[in-house]
Structure 1
Amino acid sequence: MWKIAIIDDDRQVLQGMKRAIPWDELEAVWVGEALNGRDGLQMIRDMQPDIVISDIYMPVLNGLDMIEELRKEEFPGKIIILSGYSDFEYARQALRLNVSDYMSKPVSLPTLTTVLGKVVEELAQEEEKRIKQDEMEQKLSLYEPFIEKEWVQSAVAGTLEASFRSEELLPPAYRFWLDSRHLVIGLDLVRDVRASSLTLSDWNLFRFAVSNIVCEITREVYPSFEYTELHGTRSALVLHPAPDQELQPDALQELGKKLIENIGSFLKLVIRVGIGNLKDSWEDIPDSTEEAFRAIDLKEKRMDPAYDLYMYGGEALKLERDSSGSAAGIRPVKFYLELAGAIKASQETQAQEIVSEYIALLERQGSISPDYLQSLAGELWGIFAYCLYEVGMMLDDIFANDQIAKEMTGLTKPSQLAEWLNDKISVICSSRQWKGNSKHRQAVDFMLQYVHEHYAEDITLGDLADKVYISRNHLSIIFKNVTGETFNTYLTRVRVEKARELLLDRKMLVYEVAEKVGYKNVPYFSTLFKKFTGMNPTELVK
């Protein structure tokens, strides 16, 4: 209900107004009255009405002076002047004080109703706008951690827009980058038989587990770092040593070996690791990223014959930037990430433009062998498969594998590769299976990330439904369709995976681990653990 206050030194006017105003029609209530400006000012301060109807000439403090004082106090309500004086000077002063309307006494009932109706409508519109603004701010605060992660990913891959590369726009949590040096370690999951057989939900869980392992191992040696997933099977670990801290090759080699060993031991997954060069400026982090993955791709400077661990040995990259600030050289990591993002968002035109720009860059580099083009086609086909895989689809359902293999062998010119890729992108984005999936996938992506960040808390599907503005029942169906399992099953699997990791670390007792992953009932935790792993928690720590 809208609150209305009336201020007039004539009691008959006060009573007449109270009787004349169509309260129910306006969805309004009377909250106070006063006979002079001073009492009116205090009443307004106490009652905070939405609308004030005030006379001008009143004893002690006139209406215009009272309104001026309210404006100094930033009173947010609407003010309507009702006066027996129609003098232009009064109207001009009222306009300066931002009043909503100026009515002359005596006022007719239709005029009063019309003026109040207009003011109430303005209030309703402002309230709706305020609610939307509050919702937007709430949404932004909710998504802030995820926005920061997107920022880190872009800064590492080289896709950060030039306008966001200023020191002032560095997120507060990453201001320390300005006083640090930077080195990227690239991780590439080998698509062997085991990795290729993972279901979508398993793949999401393994990515979470890889992130945990990488962060825990790195934290023991380097306190300042970020881990970010890039495209498909690749991710990056960014170290930020202080200016006086040395990064010895032996220490980096030891870190790389530990990552390979632990991911292989705990997850039975095979990874390759590449180490880029140390950079003095955070804007050069993408160069170190490219170096790390070039070391992997070219098998440069293998650091240990027993491990797929490589260190970039070529000339330090310092790729030129164009007028917009973007990298002008060929940067596969940047290209792959941009292409994957466009395909996952079903942006056909954007994806095709990204391909065309990259192929044009390749052509300007000079002679390109058919072997390289076919290898590039295979890598990009893997990215297409991964993008569809993330939304619960299989590329094999759209294209026949044997036909694709034959087509790739016929690609001998960059223009042929561009035409072939753009044709496949068009088929994928126009596929009936693909349409409608991108928005659902965004909601599920948020849920997966939220679970990985808050698994130890009391999370319910209803809570997340409120956060993504989708009904609980509908969200349940979406989550099951995209991941292949229910939300509660996925949450439990994340908790059990984290618990297994903590138990293997042998630094905590079973009941402490249970509490750490969100279970206060230890027997119930043990039952779930055995159901998902096939053994009791106590067996694991023996």
Structure 2
Amino acid sequence: MTVKPLNVLIVDDELPLRQELRSFPWEACDAVLVGEASNGDDALRMCESCAPDLVITDITMPIMDGITLIREIRKRYPAIQIILLTCHSDFHYVQEALRLGALEYLLKVSMEDEELRQAISKVRSAIIKERNSQDNEKAGRRLIQAAAFGKLLHGHVLSSSDWQTIPLQEEGYCVLAGVVLNAPNAVYLAERHRVEQQLTEMERSDPSWLTWVSIREKEYFVLISMQHASQAVDQSFAGVVEIIAGLLQGEEGTPSPFITAQAIVSEPFKTREEFTQFLVDSAQWKEALFYDSLTESHVFTRRAQQLKDMTDKQTHEMNEILRKSSCSITSLVESLEENFAPWCQAQRIRPNQLKQRTLNWLMEWLKGQQGCELDSASMTQLLASQTLAQMIACLKRDIEAAESRKIGSRIEIRSAVQWIKDHMQQSISLTILADQVGLSPHYVSRLFREETGCSVNQYITRLRMEKAVELLKRTNKKVYEIAEEVGIPNYRYFTVTFRNWTGVSPTDYKRHV
């Protein structure tokens, strides 16, 4: 276990001794001098503001002596370690100070730097031992608390002994913060210890943190006493979320929109019933993060909007949105962002249902792309999408991958495809194409079908129709102008071909886009 540099507070009414201690090489002992006081009363106030780990104090001082100071520190700040500075004549006080909990004493008149170094080392060992003991005790208690939280999440009624494990404030209000980490499993597992270490540090340093527990992987709950206004708690917790997200990003990694920490802070509550209700609501909130999750870490202070089961009507609407744009790969990919994603956001269908229906549509669409199939890894990634943005990204990747597989790997066919794209406005025949790539028409025809899954004429028609669809959507050109631009100057032939390809006439398509 690592311990940060010790914060040291010096308390003595003799200025020369304080000046001597100022010049001590604290950094060499992994310590920092955070303040000094001339009496116990001032020192006690500084314990609140400076948060020392170690107080080095004289015994005989005005206003409040060292013995009284030790008693008050033990009462208010039991984690602070104490070293006593004394004279030979004060030895009977030393016994009282050690009885009260001072860890070590040093004689002023003969104190050497090495003695102080050894005393500081003893303090550090005591702090590590005490923290290890506390952490082990808290870890055991945390498992019991997590079990109680889990029972409530599954609708069970807690017994009196179960409730006693949850440190709700008997007086005053509490808030409960739910935290969900959005990161790949490998990243989370690599950084899990550091994330939980950060939560433990906050629990140790902030007296308002009553406990934190982990119910499931990448999900935590933090119970906080309401010592401050709820807005202050929200702001403070936002800082914690940023730190945790930073741990997941890595020390040198560039920020990723798919690695974030999201949290929701409850309204202040006072009763067990209110606590239980928020805990149950948090499950709905976690599921709603599929739609609400931001590309940056964020703290929510509201309940999630209601999610809905997917109906047959919504399934039909979804299929229609995708069908209308599926005549062109470019159009389909654009429609995912412009039409499909906003529709999903508005419908707020339960994520698992939406992902399954979307996967079903994708597999059917791929069957129509010269028998393309979706591999198991791609299926798993789509179904594991934690946000709508991730699901859309998976769809775009799989659709574009299917398109790239059609083009093939033969350099002659890649050249032929590129030439077709560059000369789409011209009249293109198999003979002309064969001349361009230096092969016989028969050989080009066979290779082209093997590589793309369709004939040269079918491929040219598809490219021209995709281009026509794009021009109808993006421009105000007349239908006959578009027909000429895609290489079919015969208006009647263009209209028939477009209707066969899309199911509607060019005029009707333009009217409804």
TM over 0.5: no
Place the TM-score, normalised by the shorter chain, in its bin.
Answer: 0.3 to 0.5
TM-score of the two chains, using structure 2 as the length reference:
0.34
Bigger Rg, which one: 2
TM-score of the two chains, using structure 1 as the length reference:
0.32
